[in-house]
Amino acid sequence: MNEQLDSQGRLRHLVTLDGLSGDLLTGLMDRAKAYLLAPGKPGPGDGALNGLTVCQLFFEASTRTKISFELAARRQGADVVNLVIPTSSAAKGETVLDTLLTIQSMAVDIFVVRHKAAGLMSNIVAQLGDRASLINAGEGQLSHPTQGLLDVFTIRQHNKNFKNLSIAITGDIRHSRVARSTYQALLALGVDDLRLIAPENLLPESNELTHGRRYTNFDAGIADCDVVMMLRLQKERMQSGDIPDLDSYRKQYCLTPQRLKLARGNAIVMHPGPINRGIEMDSEIADGRQSVVRQQVGNGVAIRMAVLAAIADGKKS
Ligand code: ASP
């Protein structure tokens, strides 16, 4: 989606990672690194958003993404406002586009939006034009670009080179916007050995994520992996017939200490959160030596500081 970039190839909006170059993603990671005090420990920022206003609209539930965008924007010097959706005029039937354009009239520079409707973000960008920027903070099961960025950023902190990594994405891939965005980033950065592990009905459709090798057998899929990325069962996006029996899901797909031994000894374990403990992974793993789940959260602030700063560059020049 080229509307994301301005005529000089700089980020104007961030709607999807699909089509962004490995160089652009690397530039954002390098910038995020400069905002960290240590891996997973975001620092104070550099005022890149001084004088700008950010408005957050979360039409779906959020803990990590919402708080980390707000902290990132504030630490970069922005003025931040949040629309509380249930008590807004959305409750009177105002459309998302009307809501955004109304708020934009109050001189908002950057919108951070999460919504369940796939395809909405491109429509918003078309309506906003040059008047304001949009950052997608989660769009249905389609994309979650800043999560994809923070995932590859975290992987890079543990591995020098993407090319030779073996990465397993496992769990409810079909309904996961995180899986799609992280997959797109990994491909752009040159990862060859990508494995998708899930029960048949939670694997993506056959014409999607086609580069990944598909496994329904968890143990075969994670053998000798460098990165094991677990995903939440997204019941809110499933048809009732898709919801697996939790006991049998646990038996076949829960990451246990015994299963993790099949991956490389120094493999890292990731999860975008929130975790269903005991279903997707045991607590022993979630809180264990190989888990980088909390590091991902801290890195998320730095990545969002970098994305906001990159967008602010274009506005200030
Ligand atoms: N927090 C992530 C998302 O919003 C992952 C999840 O909800 O499972 O997509």
Written as one string, the DSSP assignment of 54-112 is EEEEESS--SHHHHHHHHHHHHTT-EEEEE-GGGSGGGGT--HHHHHHHHHTTT--EEE
Residue of 137, 162, 135, 6 lying closest to 67 (CA atoms):
137
Give the atom of ligand 1 at the shortest distance from the alpha carbon of 232. Answer: 8
Helix axes 293-316, 22-34, angle to 10 degrees: 100
Is 288's pLDDT higher than 70? yes
272 C-beta closer than 6 A to ligand 1: yes
Residue of 105, 56, 60, 32 lying closest to 307 (CA atoms):
32
Mutation to probe ligand 1, out of 169, 172, 178, 270 (largest number of atoms < 8 A from CB): 178
Rounded to an integer, what distance in angstroms lies between the CA atom of residue 165 and that of residue 170? Answer: 16
Average confidence (pLDDT) over 229-243: 88
pLDDT digits (tens, 9 = 90+) for 45-60: 999 999 999 999 999 9
* pLDDT band per the 50, 70, 90 thresholds, residue 107: very high
Question: Mean pLDDT score of the chain, rounded to an integer?
Answer: 96
pLDDT of residue 316: 78
Rounded to an integer, what distance in angstroms lies between the CA atom of residue 157 and that of residue 299? Answer: 10
CB 75 within 8 A of CB 44: yes
275 C-beta closer than 6 A to ligand 1: no
Mutation to probe ligand 1, out of 58, 64, 144 (largest number of atoms < 8 A from CB): 144
Distance in Å, CA 177 to ligand 1 centroid:
7
Distances (CA, A) of 246 to 96, 198, 256, 265, 278: 36, 14, 15, 28, 10
Dihedrals phi, psi of 201, to nearest 5 degrees: -80, 0
Distance in Å, CA 3 to ligand 1 centroid:
25
Is 1's pLDDT higher than 60? no
Distance in Å, CA 230 to ligand 1 centroid:
11
CB 38 within 8 A of CB 301: no
Distance in Å, CA 200 to ligand 1 centroid:
21
Question: What is the strand order of the sheet 193-197 is part of?
Answer: 213-215, 193-197, 166-170, 227-230, 268-270
Domains of the chain plus CATH, in order, are: 22-144+297-316 (3.40.50.1370), 145-292 (3.40.50.1370)
Is 299's pLDDT higher than 70? yes
